[in-house]
Chain A
Amino acid sequence: MIDLSVEIAGIKLKNPVMVASGTFGFGKEYASLFNLSKLGALVTKGLTLHPRPGNPPPRIWETPAGLLNAVGLQNPGVDFFLSEILPAMKSFEVPIIANIAGFTIEEYTQLASRLTVPGITGLEVNISCPNVKAGGMALGAVPELAAEVVEAVVKATSLPVIVKLTPNVTDIVALATAVTQAGAHSLSLINTLLGMAVDVNSRRPALGNITGGLSGPAVRPVAVRAVWQVSQAVDVPIIGMGGICTSNDALEFILAGASAVAVGSAHFRDPLAAVKIIEELEQYCIENGIRDWKQIIGAAWKGQN
């Protein structure tokens, strides 16, 4: 068998394929479909300090090769997660990365320290949610503020800290550099792109929240570009995501400089997408005589020089 293992910020993954936050819930719904321990890691739905009802419907609107969503971080809050959800997730035997979203720096640090418990392998700091008014992208689009959040989170936890960035900025490299200098151990690229649709039948905005985040194959070139630029500018490992549906899509990210990938919206079309990608990556390594697949990380730009 081919060894697809990789280490991200001290987290040992048996393969580089995770499931992206918000597209896989807390794993429960898919646990009867396949053995979740096949995944590299499971990233939870975004957690906030207090429970949140989320945005009014409609929350989903399909677009060409993708979708807009405006869920608005509906989640039961960190305490409920810790007492009622996490214990059952342990049986999945998969590294669990908790995605956290605060509305102030103080909330981020409280979330980080409460989630520093056995059973949680790492934190993904979501400073890039486009669907809430405060915090989220409002903090994450300004390099100085983003760095402040990250510095505080790194102090509040002993877990590896992955910072998830928004593509809705002019200079993603500046943002990536700022949070890496602030202590981020790894970066997730990218969260959804801010978008909107109008329903021509009702003549109203299609989403209850008016604007939403675009994901799916439509955003893949934007994500690949972000990984390409950022991986050449920082030294921390990058988790690439945005429209990955096949192993070729995953390879595109890896060749552009990602050390791991996350599969999100593809699950809506094929709930077995992540597992199939893992199997296909193994096959790819066999067929191409790749013994250590890590040698191809960033090969698209390394080969240039």
Chain B
Amino acid sequence: MEEPLKDHHCPVLDQVMISPGYYLLSLTAPQIARAAVPGQFVLIRCGTRYDPFLRRPLSIHQVKRERGEISLLYQARGTGTRWLAGRGKGDLVSLLGPLGRGFTYSGREKRGLLVGAGVGVAPLLFLAGELAALEWKLVILIGARTKAGILRVESFQRYGFVKTITGDGSTERQGTILSLLEEETKETDWEGIYACGPRAVLKGVQKISRETGVPAQISLEERMACGVGACLGCVCEGTAGEVLRYLRVCREGPVFDAGEVILHD
């Protein structure tokens, strides 16, 4: 059964800048906390008048069901996220959700590889927590250009073995997250790869998944308007069937099987 759609007005519990430009925002949102699955997102109304006009999609980063809380992890990039960064304790924020189709997992061996590039780790912490509770063994790869973009390592360490890599070598290894992923998939048989990050990384994940035969799920981003499947604004190209078919990232996604979609540059 699908959760009824609802616009929740949620009080901010706490907001901290965890690294320059990156924010961790906790909200009281009992219904979202109860209903959400990892990989789902919320649409947040930002700004008071019409600036910006559209809501902003953010992944659900963590849920605390017993306490009725959720948290979001985001990078302040433009008008919307900068407005959000200005909210403080007690402010009400309007959240539509939980929305979209999240990650699926039903492994027998319970061995999973999580791949988070930059703020792409956002949906993966929720996932890691759920998988760990199901006694999955996890290796979590976190990559970014610089150390400032390597987020939430200690939190992930509660759920699995974390390896980090940066473009400038300011953490343990220098290189790209795809090179780490290639190594990992050579050494071990994984049951599933779960990835979120920029399109170029997800394209690399698709390729590695194809070559190694390890099924991957990727979380996509696209510009959104309605966020619920009504406006057909957020599509990506699907692979199924003979005729061209577009899939709604907000409805059929944001999490897709790697083979389900074609990623253009």
Contacts and interface: CB of A to CB of B under 8 A. Distances in A.
Interface of A: 22-25, 29-30, 32-33, 45, 53-54, 56-67, 69, 71, 74, 216-217, 245, 265, 267-272
Contacts of B243: 53
Contact of A71 (B45, B232, B236): B232
B5 A29 contact: yes
B178 interface: no
Given A32-B4, A33-B6, A216-B50, A58 B223 contact: yes
Given A58-B222, A74-B246, A271-B5, A64 B51 contact: yes
A34 B233 CA distance: 22
Contacts of B5: 29-30, 32-33, 271
Interface of A is mostly: loop
B61 interface: no
B101 interface: no
Given A25-B231, A30-B230, A71-B232, A270 B50 contact: no
Given A60-B223, A74-B246, A29 B53 contact: no
B225 A268 contact: yes
A56 B247 CA distance: 11
Most buried by A among B96, B224, B230, B245: B230
A217 B246 contact: no
A270 B228 CA distance: 12
Contacts, number: 112
B225 A67 contact: yes
Nearest to B5: A33
B131 to A, nearest CB: 29
Contacts of B236: 57
A269 B4 contact: no
A66 B45 contact: no
Contacts of B246: 53-54, 57, 74
Interface string B1-40: 0101111000000000000000000000000000000000
B229 interface: yes
A30 to B, nearest CB: 7
Given A60-B224, A61-B223, A270-B7, A23 B231 contact: yes
Given A54-B246, A62-B54, A67-B54, A30 B228 contact: yes
Contacts of A66: 50, 53
A217 B51 CA distance: 11
A216 B96 CA distance: 20
A57 B235 contact: yes
A58 B226 CA distance: 15
Contacts of A53: 243-246
Contacts of A57: 222, 234-237, 246
Contacts of B4: 32-33
